[in-house]
Amino acid sequence: MLFSELFAVHLQQLKSGELSTAVEALIENAFAMNRSQFWIRKNQPVRDAAGLRKFRKHFARLLAHEPLAYILGEKEFFGEVFYVNPAVLIPRPETELLVEKALDLAGSKTLRILDIGAGSGNISVIMALKSAAQITAVDRSRPALRVLKKNIVRFGLQKRIRVMAADLFPKQNEPFDMIIANPPYLSGKEWRESPAGIKLFEPEAALLAGPTGTEVLARIIAGAPQHLTPCGHVLLEIGRGQLRAVRGFLKSARLREMDTICDYSGIARVVVACR
């Protein structure tokens, strides 16, 4: 069988062909090729039996709806490749908007940043790579913290990112110049209706906030003033239709909304507020 046939035969087994890039990525991974090598070798026969076994095993996982990022054990975010496993949310492109805004505000200042619900560490790592900030990355999930630590080592950022297991805020009362969070924000209904790839494989605790979806956002906003310096900022990723509720939480916490950024589908996705 030629590589082009291997590709075509497996692509046919997937619905609508939308996952052609996934099949290509699995072939490249199993046979240790990069994209251009795949295209150069596409009319050559597949001779590597171990590679073929690996590809078939991975393809069966793809057919069972497992996200490609978990199969490959990595996901690109903000141009960098992060180690991921099912203990952490797969970083989403919308979250790049949150990071872009945070980088904008941080400029070249040496800010103290708190990343709440750090997961794989995607936000903390990019902030550390692209600004002068010192970061405290918090997560409540021990398995997620193991992934986070692995990524910190992968990028050599042990001196810039401190890791803590905590329920939203660190116990000691030190102030932060910026709080960034992409917390769980799905409602019970949204979680139940999520596609199989999400519901069967991604951690429920990373996505489901509670019956309304705004429970964790409400707690972060209520606690933020106590953990912010006088001119500190809070930047939050929020879900579809949550802006109104979030504005109410900000008002109650006496935080001033500064900016709202919509994602590529026009949904208010990032809210920036200050003390």
Q: Does 141 bind ligand SAM (CB under 6 A)?
A: yes
The residue behind tokens 């986070």 is 148
Residue 149: partners with Cβ closer than 8 Å, 6 or more residues away: 163
Report the C-alpha gap between 270 and 98 in whole angstroms.
6
Nearest approach in angstroms of CB 84 to ligand SAM is: 9
| Near ligand SAM by CB under 6 A: residue from 30, 59, 117, 161 | 117
CB 239 within 8 A of CB 186: yes
Q: Does 182 bind ligand SAM (CB under 6 A)?
A: yes
| Near ligand SAM by CB under 6 A: residue from 6, 89, 105, 152 | 89
DSSP state of 2: B
Q: Does 140 bind ligand SAM (CB under 6 A)?
A: yes
Contact window for ligand SAM (CB under 6 A) among 44-52, 85-93, 227-235, 254-262:
85-93
Q: Does 236 bind ligand SAM (CB under 6 A)?
A: no
Q: DSSP string of 58-109? A: HHHHHHTT--HHHHHTEEEETTEEEE--TTSPPP-THHHHHHHHHHHHHTT-
| Near ligand SAM by CB under 6 A: residue from 184, 213, 232, 239 | 184
- Give the footprint of ligand SAM on this chain (CB under 6 A): 88-89, 91, 95, 117-120, 122-123, 138-141, 144, 167-168, 182-184, 205-206, 216
